[in-house]
Amino acid sequence: MKKEAEALKTQIEAARKAACDTDMASAASGVAPAPRVQLKTRRTLKGHLAKIYAMHWSTDNKLMVSASQDGKLLIWDSHSGNKVNAVPLKSSWVMTCAYAPSGNLVASGGLDNMCTVYNLKTPVIKTVKELDAHTGYLSCARFLSDTEILTSSGDTTCALWDLETGKQKTVFLNHVGDCMCLALSPDMNSFVSGACDSLAKLWDIRDGQCKQTFQGHTSDINAISFYPSGNAIITGSDDCTCKMYDLRADQEVIGYQDAALNSGVTSLALSVSGRLVFAGYDDFNCNIWDSLKGEKVGVLSGHDNRVSCTGVPVDGMCVCTGSWDSFLKIWN
């Protein structure tokens, strides 16, 4: 069976090589370079008392949720800079937060191995479900709707949960390292996960199958995102690089790296056309990459500690960075 496995791997590599008739940078050589991107800090959101680990925009482009190891979720009105809500967490070891597309619910999770879902619309914010089945930390959560949520865990699995029953509908098994991040496809039929096994995997949400595996990184993949067309994904890793993998070509088409950069990538977000990649690094900066040409076109400097999370709202009007320095900054 080992022989069959080796033969299949060789077959897959050969098929990828055969399809590899160029790379993204060459294909984009005729494209005008992206303009030098100089964004200014428009808001600095102060309120957390400890490291910020995660943030997520609401689909209304105004509200956002952030999670800190001070044991709170804060809901912010990004336009005014005011805090709209504070949700005290049972466990302060939070690693992720998510805003439901409806705006009704938020979720958090972390070293408690659970995903807790809160209703923001009741007179007093209530815990509506504690999703308890993972045997490892919760690294990421994303709502599909008010009734379904996807989670990734340090137990190497991802799961789709039914929020009415509080039970796992589907468990996605294939990674051999802690799952660190996940991203939903624009059409919501699939998602991708990145893990400490340095692989990214594409999954069919409904049948639970791993459809494709993307290799190339040499360390943990901490961040992952879909390209807005839905045909490619971008990953960020502890190996200090980001990569774009095309789903239909089933391989890496361009890498984003610089010999001078020797800090891991913690987070990433794309502008609405996909042209700009905002990648947060351990060296306190967020670098801006031209996704087509692989060149660095700007940097967001201003944090005094690691940039742990980044996010661009649906309307693409700004980018938010969150940091271990306890602040969130909004730039455009």
Partner 1 sequence: MSNNNASSSSVAVAQKAVKQLRIEAKMRRINVSQAATDLKNFCLQNAHKDPLLVGVPSSDNPFRPPKSCGLL
Binding site for partner 1 (CB under 8 A): 1-2, 4-5, 8-9, 11-12, 15-16, 18-24, 26-28, 31, 34-35, 37, 39, 42-43, 62, 78-79, 174, 209-213, 227-229, 231-232, 244, 246, 248-251, 253, 271-276, 291-292, 312, 315-319, 330, 332
CB atoms under 10 Å from CB of 300, counted, come to 23
d(CA 226, CA 178): 20
Using CA atoms of 26, 31, 33, 35 in order, give the dihedral in degrees to the nearest 10: -150
Question: For residues 183 and 292, which CB has a smaller minimum distance to partner 1 in the complex?
Answer: 292
Compute the least distance from the CB of residue 229 to partner 1, in Å. Answer: 4
Token digits of residue 310: 């980044």
H-run or E-run covering 159? strand 157-162
Question: Residues 185, 143: contact at Cβ < 8 Å?
Answer: no
Compute the least distance from the CB of residue 146 to partner 1, in Å. Answer: 26
Compute the least distance from the CB of residue 248 to partner 1, in Å. Answer: 5
Compute the least distance from the CB of residue 214 to partner 1, in Å. Answer: 10
Residue 141 has, within 13 A of its CA and on its CB side, a CA count of 35
Question: Residues 202, 190: contact at Cβ < 8 Å?
Answer: yes
Compute the least distance from the CB of residue 6 to partner 1, in Å. Answer: 9
Question: For residues 41 and 104, which CB has a smaller minimum distance to partner 1 in the complex?
Answer: 41
Question: Residues 85, 125: contact at Cβ < 8 Å?
Answer: yes
Question: For residues 28 and 128, which CB has a smaller minimum distance to partner 1 in the complex?
Answer: 28
Question: For residues 65 and 292, which CB has a smaller minimum distance to partner 1 in the complex?
Answer: 292
Question: For residues 27 and 50, which CB has a smaller minimum distance to partner 1 in the complex?
Answer: 27
DSSP reduced 3-state for 143: strand
Instruction: From 148, 160, 71, select the one nearest 117 (Cα to Cα).
Output: 148
Token digits of residue 128: 């509506």
Question: For residues 5 and 124, which CB has a smaller minimum distance to partner 1 in the complex?
Answer: 5
Compute the least distance from the CB of residue 23 to partner 1, in Å. Answer: 7
